[in-house]
A and B are shown apart, each in its own frame.
Chain A
């Protein structure tokens, strides 16, 4: 049985879409000859040629701008940010042009901007960020954050096929740590749909990305203490799967929202607000957020470990909430 890593799942998804649809092409820094900094696009240049696998200058604004232009004339570009941290250089292109085009001129911009996000690999402050919150407030964008190989493949395909701009934030910590058997047939994971990763009765942890695994580890530990935890993987954070969020909140009445983006202004606040507003009468305790403190991601390994939510942090907060 072929076992597919998370990173290969992304590559397979792009590859299959490029085979199926000749409008799909990739562009980015070193995506061609070098095969990408993390080798997501390795082998693509040989397979699809330089017209569809384009090495660009070091200018994220130009990469996204070129992708938007191509999309407007009918192409389906997939733009890579070598590290997702650099997406801020393309901020104006994304939020003021790609996101608003359909509203302003009735022209959809079917681009995918993807790149490695997240910490845990000692990348320091410029190579470890989770920038989803910057874009979370931008109508017109979709944001996905896969946690499994299945979702990595299904969501990149859904993103490529989507008629509007999709930001695809893959987690570099998961690249080669997650392996799964994937179906051989074509599949997509719908954008905007969350998935229950673990059923539970006592408490819900709502999370996404690499934190899904921390939540599951914590849930295991808590099960030994008689606390039955449900884990909801959002998968997409824009749009949020409100139905799934409210369902789990109503089911367990106690909710922890966990993410790797820093606390203040992070996507978790919106999740909390929706629950407070629409499931207030179902709550049996305060909604708890667990997220890194409001600082840059530290380079020092012990500091980074302290910065990122760890399993025991989750266990401790969950115990308190369960006893509340």
Chain B
């Protein structure tokens, strides 16, 4: 019996996906759960494991083509099995077949049998008590941000959600976990990729002899980045402020803690220190952690810090949720985990949602500083330049110090230059405070 391979639903608002790459060729054997193909959607890119073991009998949707979810994209069966049954249309026209027609292996509307364990299918993992509370309060569990193992929605999550949701009417409330990212908010499209970090080395276009230009279709991710960047510049008047920060003390602090973090299996970078300093700044100047909704300003209690991660052919901004409640180790661990999963395409939609402030490291690729574009609907984004030893004047003497330029791009509708400078002053103060202080 051949098994249909379908385009899985990667998040409840996702309607279509693009086959980026087939990892197996027709006739090649594949194990159950072995990566079979890569897809790209509005929210995430992911490797999709094979729904069963066997031989890839046919590929119905070629690379680069975008199809609706639940479309059969390929078939797996025993070696030598008939390539296709008589009642199937020719593969040349892979109709995005209305999925329910075929005998779907599971009864749920979008079972996505091919979905990887880490990618949420159409249902949200919860528990009996969560289902009961959801039914009593008429809550859609899939809207609740899960903090349990594997993203499970726990009893506490749904209770918090209900508590925050019932108080959602006044504009100044703690950030409601999921609402800002819901597609229903027209001014706030999914917080996708943010300000371009230094782009990955572009693939050199191959010009045939005599050819003056090469045209290449944008990837979904590229298209989304393009749309989002234009929208952001269109929405927010950007203003930029740049501060110079002496990293001498952070270097000392990091050197002192490095070993300890290594024992925990975490490589300690400078990033957690910047995040920590930003959170201090936000606590003192909450306007930095806000967003605009019509003519109201929404201040957010929780600080969810997006970290721009450069990918081979674009970038993505996974979010450290509740960063304001983490210590340095927690920040380091979470940032490392998200970065790793971003690069290995194992992020789930929830990982890129709910950000309230973003940090982008323009220094990774050598930039002295950068002027990033705001990740809507946030109010500000901070760029970190390269940390470089420079001569500086201290007490009328010239010293060599590791210096970094921090740039803040902010939405001038709600953040004034003075606010930005005050915020950066706190960030600078936190980073420059003596080790051990």
Whole-angstrom distance from the CB of A138 to the nearest CB of chain B?
32
- Chain B residues near A282: list those with CB within 8 A: 128-129, 132
Contacts of B127 in A (CB 8 A): 253, 283-285
Q: Check if B149 sits within 8 Å of A284, measured CB to CB.
A: no
Q: Given known contacts A253-B155, A324-B154, is B129 in contact with A281 (CB within 8 Å)? A: yes
In the assembled complex, which residues on chain B have CB atoms less than 8 Å from the CB atom of A253? 127, 129, 155
How far does the alpha carbon of A230 sit from the alpha carbon of B276 in the complex, in Å? 35
Q: How far, in Å, is A270 (CB) from chain B's closest CB? A: 20
Q: Do residues B129 and A324 form an inter-chain contact, with CB atoms below 8 A?
A: no
With contact pairs A253-B155, A324-B154 given, residues A283 and B129 touching in the complex (Cβ less than 8 Å): yes
One digit per residue, 1 when the CB lies within 8 angstroms of any chain B CB and 0 when it does not, for chain A 97-119 equals 00000000000000000000000
Min CB–CB distance B160 → chain A (angstroms):
13
For A282, give the chain B residue with the smallest CB separation.
B129
| B149 A323 Cβ-Cβ under 8 A | yes
Complex: A283 Cα to B128 Cα, angstroms: 6
* Chain A count of residues within 8 A CB distance of the other chain: 10
Per-residue CB contact flags for chain B residues 92-134 toward chain A (1 = under 8 Å, else 0) read 0000000000000000000000000000000000011111100
Number of A-B residue pairs at CB separation under 8 A: 29
A280 at interface by CB-CB < 8 Å:
yes
Residues of A with C-beta under 8 A to B149 = 320, 323-324
Which of A281, A285, A323, A324 contacts B132, CB < 8 Å? Answer: A281
In contact, A284 and B132 (Cβ under 8 angstroms): no
Q: Which residues of B contact A281 (CB under 8 A)?
A: 128-129, 131-132
Interface: B148 (CB within 8 A):
yes
Specify which chain B residues have a CB less than 8 angstroms from the CB of A280 in the assembled complex.
128
Contacts of A323 in B (CB 8 A): 148-149
Question: A283 — which chain B residues lie within 8 A by C-beta?
Answer: 127-129
CB-nearest residue of chain A to B149: A324
In the docked arrangement, what's the CA distance between A320 and B150, Å?
12
Q: Does B152 contact A (CB under 8 A)?
A: yes
B174 to chain A minimum Cβ distance, whole angstroms, is: 19
- Distance of A323 from chain B, by nearest CB (Å): 6
Q: How far is the CB of A311 from chain B (nearest CB, A)?
A: 23
* B148: A residues at CB distance < 8 A: 323-324
Known contacts A282-B132, A285-B154, then 4 further A-B pairs from the complex at CB < 8 Å, ordered by chain A residue: A253-B155, A283-B128, A284-B130, A323-B148
Can you give 8 contacting A-B residue pairs, CB < 8 Å?
Answer: A253-B127, A281-B131, A281-B132, A282-B129, A282-B132, A283-B127, A283-B129, A324-B154
- Taking Cβ atoms with an 8 Å cutoff, the residues of B that contact A are 127-132, 148-149, 152, 154-155
Task: Identify the A interface with B (CB < 8 A).
Answer: 253, 280-285, 320, 323-324
